[in-house]
Amino acid sequence: MSFSTIGAPSPSRVGSALPPRPIRIIIGTALALAIAGLIAAVLLAILSAASNEADSGFSRIDIPHLLRMTAIQAGLTTGLSLAVGMALAWCLNRLRFPGRDLVVGLFASAIVTPGMVVAFGLLSIWGRNGWINQVSEALFGTSIGNPAFGLSGILFAHVILDGAFAARILLARLDAIPANRLKIGQSLALAAWQRFSVIDWPAMRGTLPGLGAIIFLLAFTSFPIVLMLGGGPANQTLEVAIYAAVRQDFDLRGAVLLALTQIGVCSVVIFAASAFAPVPTALGHSSAPQWRDGAGARALQYAVLAVSTLGFVLPLLSVLLDGLSAGMAELLSRPAFWRAAATSLVIGGVSAVSAVTLALLLCLARAASANSAMRTLLGVPAFAYLAVPAVVLSLGFFLLVRSLGVNPGVAARYVVILGNTLLSLPFAVATLGPPLDAIMRTRGKLVRALGLSGWRQFRLVEYPLLGRDLGVALALAFCFSLGDLGVIALFGTQDFETLPLMMFRALGAYRSNDAAAIAALLLIGTIIAFTALPRLFERLAHVAR
Amino acid sequence: MLRAEDLTFAHPRQVAPYVFSMEAAPGIVTAVSGASGAGKSTFLDLLAGFLTPSSGRLTLDGQDLLPLPPEERPISLLLQSESLFEHLSASRNIALGLPAGTPRHEAAERIARALTEVGLEDIGPQRAATLSGGQKQRVALARTLLRNRPVLLLDEPFSALDDETRQSTRLLVRNLTERHGWHTILVSHHQDDINALASRHYRIVDNRFVLA
């Protein structure tokens, strides 16, 4: 995903080749304006609360400290994740081994793996009673301490998720290098370092600013990982401080000031990132020749791949082992669990369908428009939700609902669905937008020459070609909602809780068996959704061809 | 003499395999033509080592080339596109044809000489992306000069050029081939390119070469 897709080149270069689709553009514009209006309402609710809440003078919130801590951990996460991602993409691009597709798929799933599941897995491996300490004590009679807590733990968890995410994006860039370029390089007998500097680096570097900005934002607004691994106020970030101000200290004014700070920083990052040149979207793989690096480089590649795969897989494996062997049976016997599971599935399902429907309507309108200002109008509101993190969005809705005189408890279900829909929207738009643009660019003339109606265009051309991307967008949105803790955290009650909230409460009450079992189920649900939905839609689309 | 003898290859699910036999002499251009999908690019990939034949022989002056990986074959490539790395300057692109560790002053001198030979004295510092199609092909030829490999494979190298540039680039290829004694193999479906350059012409008919 890249912010620069907002201003990606329009199919206007083919000019009149675009079939006129006024209804699509009207619907898309209305939705974009409605989304922008909702953002404005949320911001207004936050601003008006800031001016209305009396300054008690007792706020303990230290914004400069929080800002510094958040920026440090997000900056370090970004640098480390990009470095790990580049190294990993380099290895995966070069090496061919049995199970490679599985490893690539594992790293691709990093973006949807719930942060709290990874945090829990890290504690199982690196925590005080984790696997590493048990082995260390058995072998050397000494413990390595508790590196899973504090800044090191936060960075570790973020790099596991974001480094794998970066690797998958950068691998797509490397896999899309034109075969002719590789043939020339190979016939020139370029050494491994020459190949990296002359062929790989130019293919990756254009993606780095946008990718870095996304990782920075993900880390800057990270909630469950910092909440679980932060280990106290020293490592608290803005997002967690907002939650603490509302739920623990009842300091609404402080929370609003923090939210405004957070929105300000995120907006600056988004605008800075969108100034970079558009990143070309790689569609498909080049039929590259097999070109192996020398023995030394290959040994290094296998070593990097082994360490990275272990770093990513071990925490998830421990979640599955701990969860499936501990309190699973007891958890499954509890009615509260089934209520939470049903709530999670309904919220995840409705949010995902809503997000994909919205994204599809926005992207269809954008692909049909030749006007670059119109395309920006249709893209910006969806991406603006990257600047409004989950807890801030939740706080804004909380204030909005309260100002309308509605009991937040009554509105909770709808607000959580709406919140999750909007937070998934940028990812759904980034998934569906580029292929829809490409379809119009390559087949617009034919669609127009054949005089297809808008509906037939969608049914016969766009839907069959989009199939897998629709499934990917749906899976992304579903998994985000399934693992969300940020939106539900402010609206959850004893009667209205999702699995992530139930897991968080179980951890707080030291019911670690329950937490482990829920973490395992969340992970299994995520894996099933992320692997099954794209395949299902690919098959459905194939039938439609 | 570059000689392919019953070089056999089939893509997955291809019913009848290609069986290529041909000879290319030094100092002349040998052309290969055929309809789209006839196997022209497959033949070049077999010569360059990007594909491995299931049987047959490929020799240059008696030396077996088949065991050699692409980077060790005595072959230079000139393609229709992507012959240059667009983000590098013309000089750096050409320098890739020199052995690693060539002293800087020697490299600069040889690059300048190669650029002069292809008629582009002043464009060394220019980025490849800013060059015209004809200039790009000439820069790629300059790199070929430095690599000094006896076989030059040309895959539709003139297709993207205008008529005037096409003629001058063709002339350059022929002159360089004669001067350096290259075994130049031109794959093209443009009859005028073949007429202008080739001393010998093979057509691919039913997956085999036929002398035209």
Q: In this predicted structure, what is the pLDDT of residue A352?
A: 96
Break chain A into its structural domains and give their ranges: 20-49+326-545, 60-323
The dihedral formed by the CA atoms of B188, B190, B191 and B195, expressed in degrees to the nearest 10 = -70
Strands ordered across the beta sheet of B28-33: B63-64, B55-60, B2-9, B18-24, B208-211, B198-205, B28-33, B183-187, B151-155, B75-78
Q: What is the Cβ-side half-sphere exposure of residue B146, based on CA atoms within 13 angstroms?
A: 28
∠ at Cα B197 (B196, B201), nearest 5°?
A: 105
Q: For all residues of chain B together, what is the average pLDDT?
A: 90
CB contact B79 to A (< 8 Å): yes
Enumerate domains of chain B plus CATH numbers: 1-74+149-212 (3.40.50.300), 84-148 (1.20.1580.10)
Asked whether the beta carbons of residue A183 and residue B70 sit closer than 8 angstroms, the reply is yes
CB contact B75 to A (< 8 Å): yes
β-bridge mates for residue B208, sequence order: B19, B205
Give the chain B residue whose CA is nearest to the CA of A180: B82
Q: Hey, do A20-49+326-545 and A60-323 end up sharing a CATH topology, with the first three levels equal?
A: yes
Q: In this predicted structure, what is the pLDDT of residue A144?
A: 81
Give the chain A residue whose CA is nearest to the CA of B155: A180
Among the partner-chain residues A184, A194, A289, the one whose CB lies closest to the CB of B82 is A184
Q: In this predicted structure, what is the pLDDT of residue A543?
A: 67
Chain B residues in contact with A188 by the CB 8 A cut-off are: 71, 96-97, 143, 147
Q: In this predicted structure, what is the pLDDT of residue A277?
A: 45
Taking alpha carbons only, the member of B139, B173, B178, B202 closest to residue B7 is: B202
Structure-block tokens of residue A13:
């270069």
Taking alpha carbons only, the member of B208, B211, B155 closest to residue B9 is: B208
Within 8 A by CB and 6+ apart from B11, the residues are B42
Does pTM surpass 0.80? no
What is the Cα–Cα distance from A159 to A146, expressed in whole angstroms? 18
Asked whether the beta carbons of residue A289 and residue B50 sit closer than 8 angstroms, the reply is yes
ipTM, interface predicted TM-score of the complex: 0.71
Asked whether the beta carbons of residue B72 and residue A188 sit closer than 8 angstroms, the reply is no
User: What is the CATH class of A20-49+326-545?
Assistant: mainly alpha
Q: In this predicted structure, what is the pLDDT of residue B80?
A: 79
Q: What would be the CATH architecture of the domain defined by A60-323? A: Orthogonal Bundle (1.10)
How many C-beta neighbours within 10 Å does residue B118 have?
22
Digits of tens for pLDDT over chain A (545 positions)?
Answer: 544 444 444 444 333 456 778 899 999 999 999 999 988 888 888 888 877 766 655 567 788 989 999 999 999 999 999 999 999 999 999 998 898 888 888 888 888 889 889 998 988 888 888 888 888 888 888 888 888 888 889 999 999 999 998 998 899 889 888 888 898 898 888 889 999 999 999 989 888 888 898 899 889 988 889 988 887 777 788 888 888 888 777 787 888 888 889 888 888 887 777 666 444 443 345 555 678 888 889 999 999 999 998 888 899 999 998 888 867 888 899 999 999 999 999 999 999 999 999 999 999 999 888 788 888 888 888 877 777 878 888 888 888 888 888 887 788 888 899 999 998 998 898 889 888 888 888 777 667 666 677 888 888 788 888 888 899 899 999 999 999 888 888 888 888 899 999 999 998 888 888 888 999 999 999 999 988 998 898 888 776 55
Q: In this predicted structure, what is the pLDDT of residue A452?
A: 72
Q: Report the residue of A180, A188, A199 to disrupt the B interface, i.e. the one with the largest count of B CBs within 10 Å.
A: A188
Q: Report the residue of B11, B50, B84, B91 to disrupt the A interface, i.e. the one with the largest count of A CBs within 10 Å.
A: B50
- Tokens 């770093």 identify what position? A311
CB contact B50 to A (< 8 Å): yes
* Residue at A410: amino acid letter: V
Asked whether the beta carbons of residue A180 and residue B76 sit closer than 8 angstroms, the reply is no
- Tokens 């070089």 identify what position? B7
Chain B residues in contact with A180 by the CB 8 A cut-off are: 79, 81-83
Give the chain B residue whose CA is nearest to the CA of A199: B85
Digits of tens for pLDDT over chain B (212 positions)?
Answer: 999 999 999 998 888 999 999 999 999 999 999 988 899 989 998 998 888 999 999 999 999 999 998 878 899 888 877 788 877 889 988 988 888 788 999 999 999 999 998 888 889 999 888 998 889 988 988 998 888 899 999 988 888 788 888 888 899 999 999 999 999 999 998 888 999 999 999 999 999 999 88
Among the partner-chain residues A181, A190, A291, the one whose CB lies closest to the CB of B82 is A181
Three-state secondary-structure class, residue B162: coil
- Tokens 């860039």 identify what position? A173
What is the Cα–Cα distance from A200 to A94, expressed in whole angstroms? 11
Strand stretches in B25-173, DSSP E: 28-33, 55-60, 63-64, 75-78, 151-155
